[in-house]
Amino acid sequence: MTFFASRLRHATAALVVGLGLLVAATPASAGRIQRVVSPSGIEAWLVEEHAVPIVALEFSFLGGSTQDAPGKEGTVNLLSSLLDEGAGDMPSQAFQKRLEELSIDLSFSDELDRFSGEMKVLSENRAAAFDLLALALAKPRFDAEAVERMRVQTITGIRRAARNPDAVAARTWAKTVFPDHPYSRPGEGTEASVATVSVADLKKAHAEIFTRKGLKIAVVGDIDAATLAPALDRLFGALPAEGKLVAVADVVPKAGVTAREAMDVPQAAVRFGGPGLKRADPDFMAAYVMNHILGGGTFSSWLYQEVREKRGLAYSVATGLAPQMHAGQFVGALGTSADKVDETMAIVRKELERMRDQGPTVAELAAAKAYLIGSYPLRFDTSDKIAGAVLGIQIEDLGIDYIDRRNAMIEAVTLDDVKRAAKRILAEAPSVVVVGPVSTPAGAAPVPTPKPAEPAKK
């Protein structure tokens, strides 16, 4: 599971087309993934589930907010808000009315490196829903009224986020650890940049991103392979084979740097961390287990126990791995009283060093693996979760049988594996970002010189 990633939306239980119907599944049933290829060669992964008359479709294009031109930050984000605001010969009101009439749940979102969409619909309305989605993907209108309305809405959101310490901390973190890289730029843009985005900019972004190259598709629900195969051409066949994406360089997040943003709030928002691992790294699964023990969000994690339970310094504290296409991150977050930042961060540093230098006990490793294996079925109890998981497996190139192999991979992690991963990830002093009152120090106390990181196991 990643941290600060937009795909966390797949980890929340959702109503299916507003009816409150859940598609029950287990890793075993979700593992029955079929590879479906359309007559023109478009591929999707399908999990058939006919118990409930619902179809969930998720898809992802290569290219996200990193494709925004300098000074035009927020272009791809604005694009994501406009695809259901009219398409083909249907202006916004007519398109939205048709979605409502057919009980279609349709949404789009942008990430750093990808652009995603999802749709849920009753089986009886599937054909009409596919036609509407195909129209939105290939022929968005970008009418002036809709563009200006969504521009105002976006700028309002940017202003609201500027008053939220957690949002400011996330943005400051990106600028601090990824200076001079597209990952440093705000995906939602700034007031100034969003104001300059033109219809021509939107059309250019659409043409570059909405192509079949790098397209990943997951379908879950009441549809079979024979029906889905020709529908894929109907949905995506009108898109060009490829576009002209701007190349993005790989980057390593900076370690040991600090930054502070002044904000008049009673509780400071803190981000800390540094370099992590990409998803394909052979040590990723060991790092995943290590992170669970250190700060993976459960009540038993070291940081939760030391920071909250024993000292009451923060309501919550968590860490996670954020593997992206061009960087791997290890990131933590907490909120604490403005006058407790130094004390809290001293404890955090101590626990990071303890994990780096000593590692967990045999009992802690066993408990972590038991939890991670036992809780895995919870990711597959709705059609949304199954579709999101299947799409993520494709994007990360984990293999169509990953669900069947995953728990065995967790079980195979040894204490030496965890210690090696900890030394790699926690080798350097963490970067720290604090958003809070001016009097709040950035908690930049020196960290003892770490031991050299061991090389990755081949």
Closest CA to 425 of 307, 301, 286, 293: 286
Strands 267-275 and 431-436: antiparallel
Q: Are 191 and 155 in contact (CB under 8 A)?
A: yes
Q: Transcribe 62-105 into DSSP letters.
A: E--GGGSPTT-TTHHHHHHHHTTSEETTEEHHHHHHHHHHTT-E
Asked if the model's pLDDT at residue 423 lies above 70, the reply is yes
Decide which of 64 and 3 is more confident: 64
Tokens 């967790």 correspond to what residue?
Answer: 410
Distance, CA of 44 to chain centre: 21
Residue type at 9 in one-letter notation:
R
Closest CA to 329 of 255, 270, 251, 277: 277
What span, in angstroms and rounded, lies between the C-alpha atoms of 99 and 130?
Answer: 11
**What average pLDDT does the segment 41-61 reach?**
97
Q: Model confidence over 237-252: pLDDT tens digits?
A: 999 999 999 999 999 9
Residue type at 150 in one-letter notation:
M
Count other C-beta atoms under 10 Å from residue 309's C-beta: 10
Would you state the pLDDT for residue 287? 98
Q: Spell out the SS3 assignment of 398-444.
A: CCCCHHHHHHHHHHCCCHHHHHHHHHHHCCCCCEEEEEECCCCCCCC
Would you state the pLDDT for residue 458? 31
What span, in angstroms and rounded, lies between the C-alpha atoms of 53 and 411?
Answer: 36
Percentage of the chain with pLDDT > 70?
89
Would you state the pLDDT for residue 203? 98
What span, in angstroms and rounded, lies between the C-alpha atoms of 98 and 73?
Answer: 32
**Two structure tokens written together for 247:** 């190349």
Task: Give the H or E element holding residue 115.
Answer: strand 114-122
Would you state the pLDDT for residue 444? 42
Closest CA to 456 of 416, 408, 411, 429: 416
pLDDT band at 5 (very low <50, low <70, confident <90, very high): very low
Task: Give the H or E element holding residue 57.
Answer: strand 54-62
Q: Are 51 and 84 in contact (CB under 8 A)?
A: no
What span, in angstroms and rounded, lies between the C-alpha atoms of 271 and 103?
Answer: 40
**What average pLDDT does the segment 99-114 reach?**
97
pLDDT band at 60 (very low <50, low <70, confident <90, very high): very high
Q: Model confidence over 326-372: pLDDT tens digits?
A: 999 999 999 999 999 999 999 999 999 999 999 999 999 999 999 99
pLDDT band at 31 (very low <50, low <70, confident <90, very high): low
For the four alpha carbons of 112, 424, 396 and 245, in that order, the dihedral sign comes to: positive
Percentage of the chain with pLDDT > 90?
85
Q: Model confidence over 252-299: pLDDT tens digits?
A: 999 999 999 999 998 999 999 999 999 999 999 999 999 999 999 679
Phi (first) and psi of residue 431, to 5 degrees: -80, 150
Closest CA to 78 of 171, 185, 184, 202: 202
Most confident listed range (2-16, 319-333, 438-452): 319-333
Would you state the pLDDT for residue 439? 57
Neighbouring-strand partners of residue 99: none
Asked if the model's pLDDT at residue 441 lies above 90, the reply is no
Looking at every residue in the chain, the average pLDDT score rounds to 90
Would you state the pLDDT for residue 315? 87
Neighbouring-strand partners of residue 106: 119
**What average pLDDT does the segment 210-230 reach?**
97
Q: Are 87 and 141 in contact (CB under 8 A)?
A: yes
pTM for the predicted model, two decimal places: 0.87
What span, in angstroms and rounded, lies between the C-alpha atoms of 352 and 430?
Answer: 9
Asked if the model's pLDDT at residue 29 lies above 90, the reply is no
**What average pLDDT does the segment 123-146 reach?**
98
Asked if the model's pLDDT at residue 3 lies above 70, the reply is no
What span, in angstroms and rounded, lies between the C-alpha atoms of 201 and 375?
Answer: 44
